[in-house]
Amino acid sequence: MTVIGIIGGGQLAQMMVQAGISLGLDFRLLALESDESAPNFVPRTTRVKEFTFEELSKFSTDCDLITFDHELVPASTLRQIDDHHTKFFPSANTLELAARKSVSRRMMAEHKLPTPKFHIAHNLQELTLAIEDLGGICVIKSSHGGYDGRGIFYVNNRSELESLSSKLPRDFEVVVEERLDITQEIAVLIVRARSGQMVSYPVLDTFQINSICHHVSAPSSIPEELIDRASNLGFQIAEMTGAVGILAIEMFVVGDQILINEMAPRPHNSGHLTIEACVTSQFENHLRAILDLPLGSTNLRQGAAMVNIIGNQNDLPYQVDLGKLTKTPDIKVHLYGKTPRDGRKLGHITALGSTATDALAKANQAIADALQN
């Protein structure tokens, strides 16, 4: 039986394990002590305080292949181990591109791929010049470690720089980008196998509240020409980065432009609806890709929508009422077993319908029913 190691113990690891059971795979987890989801389902979990060379080396000896739940492992450490084992998918280089926004943005610029206008700043002088060049209205993103709204700052004029500087660490690296009038945010999910075979999922519309994904729907509402352009960019980036597994790329639609925002070389929150909505889920295809198996069909069965269950968002109580959420028979509920807190993703629901709009209405109604006393 093939043993897959997963570094990280969150809900993405949990859903990878669930998808891998039907493929006859065995799993090991290397999880931080704070991770609370996947270890509940994987008895062979090693908990560590940090991902050190020693811990990663020891873990890798028990696994045939290793993949990731997140990008928080130092790429330099992985490279040392890769020299001996060469079984990390994605590779350390691909992981670093996603983990550091500055690195990925430079790569996009070098290959003349469309992104928002941006600067990279390492000190207050560079930050000031960047803000001035962008007209004083911009978005500042931490280069490393920011997600779900963390590490993102909005600047409306230069006078706000002083208060912002107190929130930045002494040694910082940030991406400073123009503020856009965004028509629609989308996600493109590409699967690339070790053999080089690639397939794409239908382009997804994503909707954020406070920079946290609130819901996702498919098929996308944007024009077909923009869908084709976004998918082609996704294939280009997957090939360019040497990605193996899922590569999720967040993009902005601004009028008739497609601009690349950021990417993640692993299963992604935007792709959760593929579990019910597509012939092969993103989680199964990720595993197929790293095992170099033929990739499964990504065809959309029908319209679909996924709504995240987030601590204190939508006025949801911290204790999710499973009985109320399951009152609607054609709603699928996924709870992660995580300790609730403000802004934390506790689970998601997925609905199918004749159209994306129909599916989203069902999902929203299920949430509304769950809130009734």
Report angle CA 367, 370, 373 to the nearest 5 degrees. 140
Q: Work out the angle between the directed axes of helices 92-99 and 75-85 (0-180°, nearest 10).
A: 170
Q: Burial-class residue 89 by CB neighbours within 10 Å (0-12, 13-18, 19+).
A: buried
Name every residue whose Cβ is closer than 8 Å to that of residue 287 and which is 6 or more positions away in sequence.
4, 16, 19, 20, 23, 25, 67
Annotated binding residue at 261? yes
Nearest to 367 by CA among 305, 300, 275: 305
Annotated binding residue at 55? no
Nearest to 301 by CA among 332, 283, 279, 280: 279
Annotated binding residue at 180? yes
The C-alpha atoms of residue 54 and residue 77 are separated, in whole angstroms, by 10
Annotated binding residue at 177? yes
Q: Burial-class residue 243 by CB neighbours within 10 Å (0-12, 13-18, 19+).
A: buried
Ramachandran region, residue 281 (left: φ > 0; alpha: ψ -120 to 50; beta: rest): beta
Annotated binding residue at 101? yes
Report angle CA 189, 195, 199 to the nearest 5 degrees. 25
Annotated binding residue at 141? yes
Tokens 């008739």 -> residue: 256
Annotated binding residue at 185? yes
User: Where is the binding site for ATP, in residues?
Assistant: 101, 141, 177-180, 185, 261-262
User: Where is the binding site, in residues?
Assistant: 101, 141, 177-180, 185, 261-262
